[in-house]
Amino acid sequence: MRYRHIGVHPVSAAVGAEISGIDISKMNDATWNEIRHAFLEHLVIFFRDQDITPEQQIAFARRFGEIGYYPMVRGMEAHPEIVEVRKEPEEKENFGGVWHSDTSYLATPPLGAVLYAKDLPPTGGDTLWSNMHLAYNALSEGMRRLLDGLKAVSSSQKGAAAIGRQARHDEAPGESSGVLEAVHPVVRVHPETGRKSLYVNAGHTVRFEGMTEKESEPILQFLFTHLIRPEYTCRFQWRTGSLAVWDNRCTQHYALNDYHGHRRVMHRITIKGDVPKGVARQAPGRRSSASEDHSQS
Q: Which residues are catalytic?
A: 100, 102, 253, 268
CB within 8 Å of 166: residues ≥ 6 apart:
none
List the one residue out of 168, 132, 94, 155 whose CA is nearest residue 253.
Answer: 132
* Dihedral angle computed from the Cα positions of residues 168, 204, 175 and 87, in that order, rounded to the nearest 10 degrees: 10
List the one residue out of 288, 269, 245 whose CA is nearest residue 41.
Answer: 245
List the one residue out of 272, 284, 273, 40 whose CA is nearest residue 149.
Answer: 284
- For residues 24-34, b (16+ Cβ closer than 10 Å) or e, as one string? beebeeebbeb
Segments in the chain forming alpha helices (H): 29-42, 54-62, 132-137, 141-147, 159-168, 213-226, 290-295
Distance, in Å, from the CA atom of 247 to the CA atom of 244, rounded to the nearest integer, reads: 10
Distance, in Å, from the CA atom of 62 to the CA atom of 56, rounded to the nearest integer, reads: 10
